[in-house]
Amino acid sequence: MTSTPSRRAILLGLMASAGHAAFAEAPVSVPRPPARGTVKLSAPKRHDLVAKSGLVGAVTFAIADAETGEILEAKQPGRPMPPASTMKAVTSLYALDRLGSDFRFETKVLADGAIVDGVLKGDLWLVGGGDPTLTSDGLADLSKAVVEAGISRITGAFRVWADALPRADRIDADQPEYVAYNPSFGGLNLNFNRVHFEWIPDGKEIGITMQARALRFSPETNVARMQMVDRPGPVYEYRRGQNVDKWSVARGSLGKKPGARWLPVRFPGLYAGDAFRSVARLQGLNLPFPQITGNPPVGALVATVKSNVLEDVLRSMMRYSTNITAEAVGMASSLVNGVPLGNLVASGSRMAGWAETQFGTRRMTFRDHSGLGYDSEISASDMIAILRQGEGVEGLMKSKAISDPGRTDGKPIAGVSAVAKTGTLNFVSSLVGYMYTQSGRRLVFAIFTADKPRRDAIPPEQRERPPGSRSWANRSRRLQRNLLAEWARAYETV
């Protein structure tokens, strides 16, 4: 597969935006026992940093020696806080433990019938395995393999099975309808379950397309449709049709220049089946419109396409913070022991139960695996316990420079390094990770900030970019940088 670096970066950037099976349905949260050991309060200077930040809302944090587990400094470390996307660090550990770093998702095509002179005398099945990274390019490779296996025509139906994982038409019900970081999910996902809406003005006319866009193949889709209407607002409106997403856009909002944005898909199985049908047609294989079926798939294996190994999938998830990847790997992890799983909340519950057993955590509420849900909570002390004892997540995090706040040039502090995972929602900003001081001392930290009353008061239609959220997040990030710089100096040696 070839592509220019800039196009790949643009595609990935646009696509990214934003449990323990043995326990069956473990409780979402468990009571916290009396505190163990001693916890130092934050030093007065750190209290001053918080006060001077101008940040309205709650600020909690903890930093510990990664080798001994000693909490070096903390502020309300036991207070439950929304983790936002730092939840993905916990999900990564959960998946690595339950699935293994070499696990691969698999999407298959089965033939239910005999193949005679290139004709399949029966049904062709597209069988999802929950792969959150499957793209239209992958489906094109799969369709090519089907043709190379000797199938040029079928006499039966084209069936799609999407029940390898629980299905739902969105991750979190409290998000705006049109945001691409809140798509559907299930056992068959495509292009992160997002459709690419593009408009190109041409004089008084505007050409529009809705595509299952990838790097090499971008078939137009019949499962998501767009209509331009003359209205002052809102910009986008959604109506659920019968097996189709019906979108409308205010014509005046498109302007006079070409543009595009990703929109969520609510019928992921049909979307993938429709795209497979389109790319198969390019190979000379004409298929009828896909039929979603809940019956178990049957037939002989014809072709398969696999994801990258789990470690690489998680590294990309952590870098681009793709919510659907977190949900798919989390639910796949919850199903390892074969215990049925009802929904996403139940899977989050299993992950909380797993963490309690593995790391001794005591009070967490996991509504999902991405951190997108408003009701998920974890304390700084529990996050510290998970990161300190868990193995494999540090190498998945992005490098983070720690700058000296006293310098105007923003130059990093020499000899100090860190890796971290950020988390951002409306009036929620979190940062967790690992830091190495100049002497090589390894520290683990968690910083959570949130103004939950202000977050909860935002009307759903304003939750993509509510007033004041950007400046609030900037103040939180500045506080996080200052705390890291102070800790790098204060805890240089044991």
User: Which pLDDT value is given to residue 128?
Assistant: 98
Q: What is the pTM of this model?
A: 0.90
How far, CA to CA in Å, does 240 sit from each of 245, 256, 338?
Answer: 5, 29, 33
The answer on pLDDT for 40 being more than 60 is no
Share of the chain above pLDDT 70, in %: 90
The answer on pLDDT for 9 being more than 60 is no
Looking at CATH, the fold of the domain delimited by 5-102+311-490 is given as: Beta-lactamase (3.40.710)
Reported as a pLDDT band with limits 50, 70 and 90, residue 26 is very low
Where are the domains positioned within the chain? 5-102+311-490, 105-307
Token pair, residue 176, equals: 């705006």
Q: Which CATH architecture has domain 105-307?
A: 3-Layer(bba) Sandwich (3.50)
The answer on pLDDT for 365 being more than 80 is yes
Q: Quote the strand ranges of 217-273, DSSP E.
A: 224-229, 236-240, 245-250, 259-264
Reported as a pLDDT band with limits 50, 70 and 90, residue 324 is very high
* Lowest mean pLDDT across 108-122, 130-144, 401-415: 401-415
The answer on pLDDT for 484 being more than 60 is yes
* Lowest mean pLDDT across 12-26, 128-142, 399-413: 12-26
For CA atoms 285, 214, 199, 183, give the dihedral sign: positive
User: Which pLDDT value is given to residue 42?
Assistant: 60
The answer on pLDDT for 22 being more than 50 is no
User: Which pLDDT value is given to residue 48?
Assistant: 85
Domain 105-307 in the same topology as domain 5-102+311-490? no
Give the whole-angstrom CA distance, residue 83 versus residue 446.
10
Per-residue pLDDT, averaged over 452-472, amounts to 90
Per-residue pLDDT, averaged over 48-71, amounts to 94
The answer on pLDDT for 23 being more than 70 is no
Token pair, residue 132, equals: 């959150």
Reported as a pLDDT band with limits 50, 70 and 90, residue 254 is very high
Helices marked H in 293-394 — which ranges? 310-320, 323-334, 344-359, 380-389
User: Which pLDDT value is given to residue 465?
Assistant: 85
User: Which pLDDT value is given to residue 44?
Assistant: 66
Taking Cα atoms as reference points, which of 267, 221, 225, 266 lies closest to residue 248?
Answer: 225
Tokens 């000379």, located at residue: 284
User: Which pLDDT value is given to residue 15?
Assistant: 40
Per-residue pLDDT, averaged over 50-54, amounts to 90
Higher pLDDT, 202 or 461: 202
Considering the chain, what is the average pLDDT of its residues? 90
Reported as a pLDDT band with limits 50, 70 and 90, residue 424 is very high
452 neighbors 419 (Cβ within 8 angstroms): no
245 by Cβ neighbours in 10 Å (0-12 / 13-18 / 19+) ranks as buried
Reported as a pLDDT band with limits 50, 70 and 90, residue 219 is very high
